[in-house]
């Protein structure tokens, strides 16, 4: 028996494979027995430079790339890094102007004066960040694309204020505080939306890995941007016209790169606008749009900046009010609300009220995320048909089929991404003798 085991051992061949994904492994070495009993043969495969370059690349891309991320990860990150690079270059120009305005390099400047100005600037930014989170925190997840773009636009405004500050010495404090306030919005909005996008990119529960690798990418972009920025600041020093031309050119490119990055995203979560686009297309054709098709139709800028008419079917969701406060309803709506006893809403978890084309949703205090989703879809149907009975008939006949079809196309229907529902209600039905 021992002789047979030794014979098997002597014939054993061990292969070494390298790679972070099971379908992307490459053979690097083969260990096999040699003629001598106590020796072996090691044969290496592959190019060492190629192996090193692959290992180096793995420090900047998620494990298992590209199968571990969504297809829109590469174009988004490409444009995102380009816009980040332009930001770091412009930061050197704006910081140089800001330090000059504070008085760095001048004998008349005092340390306490410069310190106080810097402190006031940072304090304004901190307070602005808290206030922005208070008023818009719940909207960031539901409108990740829009707020991602708005965040970078606010950052552009902040750097512009720093660059302008030396031109108006009497209003210096006010200008730099406005700039700090703008950047505080950027920090909150960018951080919150980035978390939502990271979850979108993660196909293998690897959000932490994606976030870490993004940090490595940004570090490299920062170092390159700082080096180029210092070079540009040195070349343009004392030439205000060239500084402004450089800053404005980089800002235009930054805005373009941000727009292209946001447009690359094909989110599969359902917010109010994407739900509206999907449902209306289904009602018209019976088909379901893909995330890429919906992405081409949805807004990435606030509606007030769009030239689209409010009557456009893609903007139907603007006629729906989710989670209205019962005590804020007018007399007509209140009578309609109390008249729902014994109706199809008796056992439901939401109530719909239509008035002049605007549909209000009263959410039950015990409603689940699925109830909120159904209530919002029902409100869209009612806003489109403007008929309570027809909308109810459509929901009874088509809603489950609609949900099944969009799930089959990869849409996530667990919850509706919307603003926080603060006001809810409870209703009971009294029998009148």
Instruction: Answer whether residue 425 is part of any domain.
Output: no
Instruction: Answer whether residue 223 is part of any domain.
Output: yes
Low-confidence ranges of the chain (pLDDT < 70): 1-11, 15, 17-29, 32, 35-43, 45-54, 100-116, 118, 137-138, 303-314, 339-347, 429-433
Instruction: Answer whether residue 65 is part of any domain.
Output: no
> In whole angstroms, what separates CA 281 from the centre of its chain?
25
Whether residues 95 and 139 share a domain: the answer is yes
CATH of the domain at 166: 1.20.1250.20
Instruction: Answer whether residue 67 is part of any domain.
Output: no
Whether residues 254 and 131 share a domain: the answer is yes
φ/ψ bin of 5: left (φ > 0), alpha (ψ from -120 to 50), beta (otherwise): alpha
> In whole angstroms, what separates CA 278 from the centre of its chain?
20
Whether residues 43 and 107 share a domain: the answer is no
Question: How many whole angstroms separate alpha carbon 246 and alpha carbon 322?
Answer: 46
Whether residues 156 and 77 share a domain: the answer is yes
Whether residues 10 and 82 share a domain: the answer is no
Question: How many whole angstroms separate alpha carbon 361 and alpha carbon 375?
Answer: 7
Q: Both tokens of residue 107?
A: 């004998």
Q: Please report how the helices 207-236 and 172-201 are oriented relative to each other, as an axis angle in degrees rounded to 10.
A: 150
How do residues 195-248 score in pLDDT, each as one tens digit? 888 888 998 888 888 988 888 888 888 899 888 988 888 888 878 888 899 999
Beta strand 412-417 pairing with 358-363: unpaired
Whether residues 217 and 156 share a domain: the answer is yes
Residues contacting 370, CB < 8 A, separation 6+: 414
Instruction: Answer whether residue 433 is part of any domain.
Output: no
Instruction: Answer whether residue 110 is part of any domain.
Output: yes
Q: How far apart are the first and last CA of the chain?
A: 94
Residues contacting 227, CB < 8 A, separation 6+: none
Whether residues 82 and 145 share a domain: the answer is yes
The pLDDT of residue 27 is 66
Whether residues 86 and 52 share a domain: the answer is no
Q: Identify the CA nearest to 233 among candidates 341, 329, 89.
A: 89
Q: Identify the CA nearest to 416 among candidates 363, 383, 374.
A: 374
Question: How many whole angstroms separate alpha carbon 87 and alpha carbon 250?
Answer: 8
Half-sphere exposure (Cβ direction) of 180: Cα atoms closer than 13 Å: 21
* Continuous segment of H or E residues that includes residue 18: strand 14-18
Whether residues 126 and 25 share a domain: the answer is no
How do residues 270-296 score in pLDDT, each as one tens digit? 999 999 999 999 999 999 999 999 999
Whether residues 237 and 99 share a domain: the answer is yes
The pLDDT of residue 398 is 94
Q: Which residue range is the domain that position 130 belongs to?
A: 73-265
The pLDDT of residue 416 is 92
Instruction: Answer whether residue 136 is part of any domain.
Output: yes
Q: Identify the CA nearest to 351 among candidates 389, 380, 378, 383.
A: 378
The residue from 265, 283, 309 where one domain ends is: 265
Whether residues 198 and 311 share a domain: the answer is no
How far, CA to CA in Å, does 55 sit from each of 16, 207, 362?
15, 20, 55
The residue with tokens 């993660």 is: 202
Question: How many whole angstroms separate alpha carbon 418 and alpha carbon 367?
Answer: 15
In contact, 365 and 375? CB cutoff 8 Å: no
Question: How many whole angstroms separate alpha carbon 72 and alpha carbon 92?
Answer: 31
Domain count, the chain: 3
Tell me how long the chain is: 433
Whether residues 248 and 318 share a domain: the answer is no
Instruction: Answer whether residue 358 is part of any domain.
Output: yes
In contact, 262 and 149? CB cutoff 8 Å: yes
Q: Count other Cβ atoms within 10 Å, centred on residue 126.
A: 13
φ/ψ bin of 357: left (φ > 0), alpha (ψ from -120 to 50), beta (otherwise): left
């Amino acid at each position: 028996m021992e002789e047979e085991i030794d014979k098997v051992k002597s014939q054993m061949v061990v292969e070494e494979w390298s790679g972070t994904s099971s379908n992307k492994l490459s053979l690097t070495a083969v260990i096999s027995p040699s003629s001598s009993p106590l020796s072996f043969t090691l044969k290496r495969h592959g190019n060492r430079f190629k192996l090193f370059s692959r290992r180096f690349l793995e420090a900047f891309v998620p494990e298992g790339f590209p199968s571990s991320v969504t297809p829109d990860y590469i174009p988004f990150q490409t444009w995102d890094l380009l816009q980040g690079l332009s930001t770091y270059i412009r930061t050197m120009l704006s910081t140089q102007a800001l330090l000059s305005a504070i008085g760095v390099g001048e004998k008349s400047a005092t340390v306490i004066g410069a310190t106080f100005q810097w402190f006031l600037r940072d304090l304004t930014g901190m307070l602005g960040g808290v206030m922005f989170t208070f008023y818009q925190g719940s909207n960031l997840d539901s409108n990740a694309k829009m707020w991602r773009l708005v965040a970078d636009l606010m950052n552009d405004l902040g750097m512009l204020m720093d660059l302008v500050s030396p031109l108006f010495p009497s209003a210096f404090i006010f200008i730099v505080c406005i700039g700090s306030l703008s950047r505080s919005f950027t920090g909150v909005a960018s951080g919150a939306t980035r978390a939502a996008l990271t979850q979108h990119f993660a196909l293998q529960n690897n959000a932490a890995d994606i976030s870490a690798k993004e940090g490595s990418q940004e570090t490299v972009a920062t170092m390159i941007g700082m080096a180029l920025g210092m070079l540009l600041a040195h070349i343009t020093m004392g030439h205000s016209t060239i500084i402004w031309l450089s800053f404005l050119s980089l800002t235009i490119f930054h805005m373009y790169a941000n727009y292209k990055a946001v447009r690359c995203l094909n989110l599969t979560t359902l917010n109010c606008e994407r739900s509206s686009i999907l449902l209306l297309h289904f009602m018209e054709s019976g088909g379901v749009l893909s995330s890429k098709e919906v992405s081409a139709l949805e807004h990435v800028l606030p509606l007030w900046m769009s030239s689209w008419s409010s009557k456009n079917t893609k903007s139907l969701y603007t006629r729906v009010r989710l989670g209205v406060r019962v005590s804020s309803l007018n007399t007509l709506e209140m009578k309609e609300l109390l008249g729902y006893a014994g109706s199809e809403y008796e056992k439901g978890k939401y109530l719909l009220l239509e008035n002049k084309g605007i549909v209000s949703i009263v959410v039950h205090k015990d409603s689940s995320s699925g109830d909120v989703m159904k209530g919002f879809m029902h409100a869209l149907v009612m806003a489109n048909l403007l008929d309570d009975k027809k909308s109810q008939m459509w929901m009874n006949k088509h809603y489950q089929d609609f949900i099944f079809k969009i799930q089959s196309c990869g849409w996530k229907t667990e919850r509706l991404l919307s603003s926080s529902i603060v006001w809810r209600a409870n209703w009971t039905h009294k029998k009148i003798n």
